[in-house]
A and B are shown apart, each in its own frame.
Chain A
């Protein structure tokens, strides 16, 4: 079982470049989310989706775009990378948005912006 798959695992970007972080899940989960993790800051929610065609902003959405055209995929786009976006990015999915629903995480994308 693949679960949640993120690509790439590592990426170095120059300031101003754009890129898309890919996230795919094969569990038919409706809910998908993107988080960034910085030292001492925990996991901060960037964007999330409650189903295909529906997205919403989280705590730190600026500089990022998302779309959800299929249940399986939830890509995160950096429009113009900045050094402040250097972070580890995690994608997560869950079957429902109920409190007792376990979230499954991908292995993360380690992004450095120089």
Chain B
């Protein structure tokens, strides 16, 4: 399973765009890239998923370069409520016994 690396923490002011990059150098052909958000004492919540190029939904965009060795979650104009931990996951469709983990994620702190 592809290992992911993310920054431990990031700070931003309200209203700014935030970009969180995840490195996954040994991503496999069948792997998808998924991002989750977690608030304290709650379960993570799915944000966005992609395989290549760019994916956009109502809350975020996901940019994936051609080599797929990294991905960037982009949060437009963050607010205080976007303060959370963001996890990057890489997983495939084999369905075999896997060590899927959420890692330590990136702790985003948004301030006024």
- A and B bind: no
Residues of A whose CB lies within 8 Å of any CB of B are none
